[in-house]
Amino acid sequence: DAGITQSPRHKVTETGTPVTLRCHQTENHRYMYWYRQDPGHGLRLIHYSYGVKDTDKGEVSDGYSVSRSKTEDFLLTLESATSSQTSVYFCAISGWGRSYEQYFGPGTRLTVT
Amino acid sequence: GQQLNQSPQSMFIQEGEDVSMNCTSSSIFNTWLWYKQDPGEGPVLLIALYKAGELTSNGRLTAQFGITRKDSFLNISASIPSDVGIYFCAGPGASQIYGGSQGNLIFGKGTKLSVKP
C-alpha cells in the first residue's frame, strides 16, 4: 500500500466555518491530488499539485484552496464551508513517469451542517 | 465535456461466475485505468493500460484497451465474495492527452458488483 494518510478521517462542522484537510505521503511522489466523491457524480478532481508550491485547479475547484509547502504534505482548505461541500474527500499521489497511476488515501468524510 | 460511461451500473452474480464490464468514451484516450473501491475505503488501482489492443492481467482480473481507443473492458474470472465492491474506469482528462501538466484524471460512475455465496 502507498504510504498515504489523511486527517482527520471524519469531521462535522458548521456552515461558514473554515476547514483544513491534510494529506501526508511517505513515498516522496511529485504529484498530489484532491478529489471529492459524491453519489451520482463519482470522483471529481478539486485541485492538484505538481511540485512544492506548484498547484493547479481541477474540475470542481470553486470554494477550495490548496497549499503544498513540503513534498510530503498537501492541504485542502474550505475557507467558509457550505452544505454543498458535504462529501468524502480523497487524496491521491502519483510519481514521475507514471503520473496517470494514482494511489489513493483512505478518505475524509466531511459533514457540513 | 469528457465523460466515461460504465456499464452495467450494477451486477448481482453467483460466486464462481465470470464477470464482464466495460467503459466507453466519446473521446479517444491514450491510457485506461481500472480501480476497485471497497466500502469506506479509497479506490485501489487494479490495472493500467497504455496501448490500443493491450490485454493485461492481474490475477483473476483481465483488462483490455479497446482498439478504437474509446473503450476498455474488465473481466473477472471465477468471482469470489471479496470481489464485492465498486469498479471504476478512469482516463486522463483533456489536458493530459495533449501533454499538459499532470492531473485531471476523470472517472466513470462505477459498476457495483455484488456476489452471492
pLDDT digits (tens, 9 = 90+) for B31-89: 999 999 999 999 999 999 999 999 999 999 999 999 999 999 999 999 999 999 999 99
- Structure letter (DSSP) for residue B95: H
In chain A, what residues touch B101 (CB-CB under 8 Å)?
50, 56
pLDDT bucket at B117, cuts 50 / 70 / 90: confident
The residue among B36, B105, B112 with the most chain A CBs within 10 A of its CB, best to mutate, is B105
pLDDT bucket at B116, cuts 50 / 70 / 90: confident
Average pLDDT over residues A3-17: 97
Mean pLDDT comparison of A39-43, A95-99, A100-104, highest-scoring range: A100-104
Label residue A93 exposed, middle or buried (CB < 10 Å: 0-12, 13-18, 19+): buried
Question: Which of B41, B102, B108 has the CB atom closest to A50's CB atom?
Answer: B102
CA angle at B52 for the pair B51 and B54, rounded to the nearest 5°: 70
Tell me how close the Cα of A18 comes to any Cα of chain B, in angstroms. Answer: 24
Whose CA is closest to B76, among B65, B86, B62?
Answer: B62
- The answer to whether residue B100 scores a pLDDT higher than 60 is no
